[in-house]
Structure 1
Amino acid sequence: MNVLKPSWSLLLLSVLLSTDLPSALAGKVLVFPVDGSHWVNMNILIEDLHSSGHEVTVVRTASSWYIKEHSPHYKAITVTLPEPINIEKQDFFISFLSEILEIQRHGGSPLAFVQFYWQMLKNLYGIHWQASQLVVEMFENPVLMKQLYEGHYDLVLIDPGLPAGVLVAHKLKLPMVYNVRWITSGEGHFVVAPSPVSYVPAAGSHLSNRMSFGERLKNIFHYVLNMCIDHFIVRPEYDKLVARYFGPETDFYHLLQGADIWLMRSDFVFEFPRPTMPNVVYIGGFQCKPSKPLPPDLEEFVQGSGEHGVVVMSLGTLVKGLPSEITSEIAAGFAQLPQRVIWRHLGERPHNLGNNTLLVKWLPQNDLLGHPKTRAFVAHGGANGIYESIYHGVPVVGIPLLFDQSENMLRLKIRGAAKVLDVTKLDSQSFLPAVQEVLHQPSYRDNMQRLSRLHKDQPIQPQDSALFWIEYVMRHKGAAHLRTDSYKMPWYSYHSLDVMAFLLAVVLAVGGAVVLTIRYLCFRLCRRQKSKRE
């Protein structure tokens, strides 16, 4: 068999690399991200697209605090809004957390909860009004719109948590790919796939997929509540924009549901089983990767833990919203452990910090979780941290704070991989035993490592799958053959209520005709017999 000599092989490779093939396959992607932790996920996809030769343009607001204007991986279009979106203010969620903790910890009255919830709904409306102004600022800027039309983009990549990009994609007549878990009405599956509330937990219900009768009632309540909030609080501003720019024949919700591909940041190793659709691609944990070596000073601290190992703690940026009395209780619990602790802490330094605890403002979370000496992870239950702990097989002590964090921790708890604490009742007497239980009871680590094996056992890695399907939409100018049009049906047609009503009417009509015929025949027979007797 003839084999190319190394020199000829290198020459052939250089020729292939110098051809125009990669540029011919390269595409142009317009991106509408959401700031904050959502940007971490979107930025990974952007870097992958850039590495694959695609040109990426990111639409950001002037007040963005994570999404930078200058990057080696993308070009930015910066839009100045009349007022910044609240979620782009670094202290918004911190003050939000402080308020709710204050009410819960002091046994707030029902009136206080109602007032807080009403204020929360007003804030939610304000966020979506502010986000909707991005569409106004773009559509009313003819120079920018001309630039977008002449950009000849292949698709729009959108985080639909704030769905301004959906309207822009429709205006430009471009296919849409979602990087999604949450959408305007809650968890994304409820918009794109059948979601029987008999066993699919609604957002905010804090339920598993195995519900009693009472829990199913609770689940329906939360489902209806979410729909009402979406219909009356979130959608009105976007409905106004659609009517203003596209006319009454266009429905905002149909635009929202019409994405070609949904890159769902979920994995059924973690999520409860549920119905899905052919245009939903699961990329849960796509941000996870093998750990890299730690910085020398951190490696020295970790190695000094000896056989006891280390505990890693991070509650994200929201830890600044925790009262000092809670962080002091956590510090007191850590001080009694033989393990060393690496704690990402941004607030006031606890006065009772133990010698075994290292406070840092930033930590390489993925690399620490992948270190062989890491024994447990104390976390708030954000999706990124959850999937990194699953990927590396590290059991969790959960202290959920806001939003979906309680439900994320519930899923790990049901699978036996986490111990969950109530932050409003947290003290050293409850915190320390919980950490010790996770450290010393083998079932937690065994269960988490089982989840890790399941998560990694896939034919294609989530990050590669996400890139494939984005490029798939580019190649085929969309993926309409994977998308059902069921969302365009009236609700009564979707549930076949009109068919059932028709069949019921037919049955009643036939049944009524049979009964009337029998009664008529009986009446005739009785009259005939009566006439014979006479």
Structure 2
Amino acid sequence: MVSLHFLFFVFILNNIGGARPAKILMVFDKPGTSHYNDAVDIALQLYDRGHNITFLVPRVHQDDITVKEHLDTFSFIFTHFQKEDVDFFQASDKTITKWESLEMFMMPYRVILFVAEMYSNLTVDLLTDTRMSDEIATTQFDFVLFEGSFVWYHSLMRTLKIPYGVLTTSADISTSNIWFNAPSDCVTLPNILLEVVTVDLTSFAWRTRNCVGAAVGYMFYHVLVESHVASGTAEYSEEVRVGPITSFGQADVWLANVDFSTDITRPYLPATCLVGGLSIEDTNTLDQEYQRIINESGEHGILVVTMGTVVQAVSQEKTDKMAAAFARLPQTVVWKETSPRPTITANNIIIKPWIPQKALFANPKTRAVLFHGGNNGAFEALYCGLPIIAVPIYADQFDVSYRISSSGMGLTLDHNQMTDESLYQTITEVINNPRYRERAQHLSAVYRHNPSPAKERAAFWIEYVLRHGGNKLRKARISQMGFIEKNMIDVYLTLAFLLVVFLYFMKKIIVGLLRTLFKVVTETKM
């Protein structure tokens, strides 16, 4: 017979040790990318705490190596997204070489409309995937976490009617604060892809440019995307008809992959948790080959070069220019293989299809890192106190590069204008000028002064929502308001009306007094 003491002990473990095992759905449909890897880092943390994790990914990725390596750990539900849809997202990423806000403003309306319609079509595809819906309904998930940029998944959140969270996998922008229902100020919060390194944030030109960019982003998401998705899903139910921007604000928790050590200071709501650096790990182990490379580099050390996992936009000409610049350096260059490979490589250049990036970053003989501006790489360099040379290629890489460069950790080069001479001079400046390393080490100390690692903080807040059945006390009430109430339009119109009435009667009174005064003066003179 089981003793009462044993049962009491089990009860204590279940109720004090953490949240009870839950079924969690992770919606990240680009396996192999840094965004997907961030979700995996959180999922592994939750799995270690006893939760059951399921990933929702397109069927075209079911044979991906990043999916196969976790088949024993996670469950998977595959959607019927066509390969053309997935290829469009990847191709559109590579097409955008520098998507700044003013350039976005000048894009043809039909292109923007096409993207909005695509979001709507993908939403309808999800709602009509009955096989996927039945599998999700049968599992009865307790919580859903999905990537913020995948707006077509918001309809799925509405149909499940369970607590959900959003993970933003790149630096936040002024429009993000509107999504969070947090205060948004164009004076201090840069919009996406606006350079903040060499400009005066208080200048009239920058504030005007930032305001225009924020307005374009607001119109795109709130007018086009919101209306298209809402109209495309209207036939299903009133819950689904709510657009994605409304769903953003109603999320139970926002996990933002940013940190105050490098980001612009901004107001956040209580439901927002900063989890910048999800990919960071303490690892210093190098195999014999890389340890030999480190030892043979001598007093000059090494330069680590990595251009990410999905970047294919580096041309042969640019690759050769990079190799020519590296050949002039006294450092040994450890270069993660790029496509295409450089035509000629010097003796100090070592190209590998894979490199132990985190361990190389942590090695004291690493002098700097040259990378594409990926958010994960930026945080790994920050954690190790490494100065950076950023060469962004597309999408939010510009945004990440500008922000971390503006913090004083390094310099950013324009990929389109880069020459072998400019690259050589930039690398030499960052490595030889001690202020970049000193600044990087200072910010590293600031970042490390967190009570717990980013992935543990993310898991904590997800379990917080699970334990309390939501996060109502931390949600902003503004998320429950309509457009008129949220923007105080009715209040402003009422005040304007009262002001007009007040001015009207004041005019009447003043005119009446003047007439009376004129009449009295006239009668006195007579």
Give TM class, smaller chain. Answer: 0.7 to 0.9
| Aligned position for 1:273 | 265
Q: Report the CA distance shift for 1:76/1:121 in structure 2 as closer, same or farther (over 3 A).
A: same
Shift, 1:348, TM fit: 3.0
| Aligned position for 1:81 | 81
Shift, 1:118, TM fit: 7.2
Is residue 375–residue 394 contact of structure 1 (8 Å, CA) maintained in 2? yes
1:156 to 127, 141, 144: 144
| Aligned position for 1:195 | 184
- Give the Cα separation in 1 of the matches to 2:423 and 2:211: 34
Q: Report the CA distance shift for 1:374/1:212 in structure 2 as closer, same or farther (over 3 A).
A: same
Bigger shift: residues 197-206 or 57-66: 57-66
- Give the Cα separation in 2 of the matches to 1:127 and 1:66: 28
Cα deviation, 1:283-317, whole Å, max 9, x if unaligned, reads 01122121230122122212211211110001113
Task: Please tell me whether residue 218 in structure 1 is matched to residue 215 in structure 2.
Answer: no
Aligned residue runs from structure 1 range 307-318, under 5 A: 307-318=299-310
- Give the Cα separation in 2 of the matches to 1:245 and 1:467: 33
Aligned residue runs from structure 1 range 434-449, under 5 A: 434-449=426-441
| Aligned position for 1:418 | 410
| Aligned position for 2:133 | 145
Aligned residue runs from structure 1 range 377-392, under 5 A: 377-392=369-384
Bigger shift: residues 200-209 or 409-418: 200-209
- Give the Cα separation in 1 of the matches to 2:273 and 2:300: 40
Residue type of the partner of 2:37?
A: V
Q: Report the CA distance shift for 1:182/1:165 in structure 2 as closer, same or farther (over 3 A).
A: farther
| Aligned position for 2:3 | none
Bigger shift: residues 185-194 or 351-360: 185-194
1:27 to 22, 26, 33: 22
Cα deviation, 1:10-59, whole Å, max 9, x if unaligned, reads xx9xx869976779811111111141321011111111111110001111
Report the secondary structure of 2:234's partner residue.
helix
Task: Please tell me whether residue 179 in structure 1 is matched to residue 167 in structure 2.
Answer: yes
Q: Report the CA distance shift for 1:41/1:478 in structure 2 as closer, same or farther (over 3 A).
A: same
Is residue 317–residue 346 contact of structure 1 (8 Å, CA) maintained in 2? no
Report the secondary structure of 1:317's partner residue.
coil
1:408 to 385, 394, 400: 400
Cα deviation, 1:328-358, whole Å, max 9, x if unaligned, reads 1111111121211110123233222011111
| Aligned position for 1:305 | 297
- Give the Cα separation in 1 of the matches to 2:458 and 2:202: 33
Residue type of the partner of 2:72?
A: P
- Give the Cα separation in 1 of the matches to 2:240 and 2:397: 39
Report the secondary structure of 1:498's partner residue.
helix
Q: Report the CA distance shift for 1:286/1:381 in structure 2 as closer, same or farther (over 3 A).
A: same
* Structure 1, unaligned runs of 5 or more: 1-11, 104-109
Report the secondary structure of 1:226's partner residue.
helix
Residue type of the partner of 1:472?
A: Y
2:195 to 206, 209, 213: 206
Is residue 160–residue 166 contact of structure 1 (8 Å, CA) maintained in 2? no
Shift, 1:202, TM fit: 1.1
1:362 to 354, 362, 378: 354
Residue type of the partner of 2:386?
A: V
| Aligned position for 1:450 | 442
Task: Please tell me whether residue 37 in structure 1 is matched to residue 34 in structure 2.
Answer: yes
Report the secondary structure of 1:63's partner residue.
helix
Report the secondary structure of 1:245's partner residue.
coil
Q: Report the CA distance shift for 1:268/1:87 in structure 2 as closer, same or farther (over 3 A).
A: farther
- Give the Cα separation in 2 of the matches to 1:519 and 1:312: 79
Report the secondary structure of 1:281's partner residue.
strand
Cα deviation, 1:93-145, whole Å, max 9, x if unaligned, reads 44x26xx59x9xxxxxx9x999987796477447535632542333xx1x543
| Aligned position for 1:251 | 242
Report the secondary structure of 1:294's partner residue.
coil
2:419 to 420, 427, 432: 427
TM-score by length of structure 1 reads 0.85
Bigger shift: residues 266-275 or 60-69: 60-69
Shift, 1:530, TM fit: 6.0
| Aligned position for 2:71 | 71
TM-score by length of structure 2 reads 0.87
* Structure 2, unaligned runs of 5 or more: 1-5
Q: Report the CA distance shift for 1:342/1:16 in structure 2 as closer, same or farther (over 3 A).
A: farther
Task: Please tell me whether residue 53 in structure 1 is matched to residue 44 in structure 2.
Answer: no
- Give the Cα separation in 1 of the matches to 2:376 and 2:205: 32
Bigger shift: residues 313-322 or 397-406: 313-322
Shift, 1:519, TM fit: 3.6
- Give the Cα separation in 2 of the matches to 1:340 and 1:125: 47
Task: Please tell me whether residue 483 in structure 1 is matched to residue 475 in structure 2.
Answer: yes
Shift, 1:426, TM fit: 1.8
Is residue 304–residue 360 contact of structure 2 (8 Å, CA) maintained in 1? yes
Cα deviation, 1:407-434, whole Å, max 9, x if unaligned, reads 2222222222112111112222111111
Q: Report the CA distance shift for 1:433/1:24 in structure 2 as closer, same or farther (over 3 A).
A: closer
Q: Report the CA distance shift for 1:372/1:518 in structure 2 as closer, same or farther (over 3 A).
A: closer
- Give the Cα separation in 1 of the matches to 2:65 and 2:508: 75
- Give the Cα separation in 2 of the matches to 1:282 and 1:157: 15
Shift, 1:516, TM fit: 2.2
Is residue 81–residue 133 contact of structure 1 (8 Å, CA) maintained in 2? no
Report the secondary structure of 2:76's partner residue.
strand
Shift, 1:529, TM fit: 7.0
Is residue 87–residue 127 contact of structure 1 (8 Å, CA) maintained in 2? no
Report the secondary structure of 2:291's partner residue.
helix
Q: CA RMSD, aligned part only?
A: 3.4
1:320 to 312, 318, 327: 312
Shift, 1:184, TM fit: 12
Bigger shift: residues 167-176 or 388-397: 167-176
Shift, 1:524, TM fit: 4.6
Is residue 387–residue 440 contact of structure 2 (8 Å, CA) maintained in 1? yes
- Give the Cα separation in 2 of the matches to 1:462 and 1:287: 9
Aligned residue runs from structure 1 range 107-118, under 5 A: none
Q: Report the CA distance shift for 1:432/1:244 in structure 2 as closer, same or farther (over 3 A).
A: same
Cα deviation, 1:163-212, whole Å, max 9, x if unaligned, reads 33322222121011111146999853331121111221111332468231
Question: How many positions carry a matched residue from both structures?
Answer: 508
Residue type of the partner of 2:20?
A: L
| Aligned position for 1:128 | 119
Shift, 1:389, TM fit: 0.4
Report the secondary structure of 2:304's partner residue.
strand
Q: Report the CA distance shift for 1:486/1:67 in structure 2 as closer, same or farther (over 3 A).
A: farther
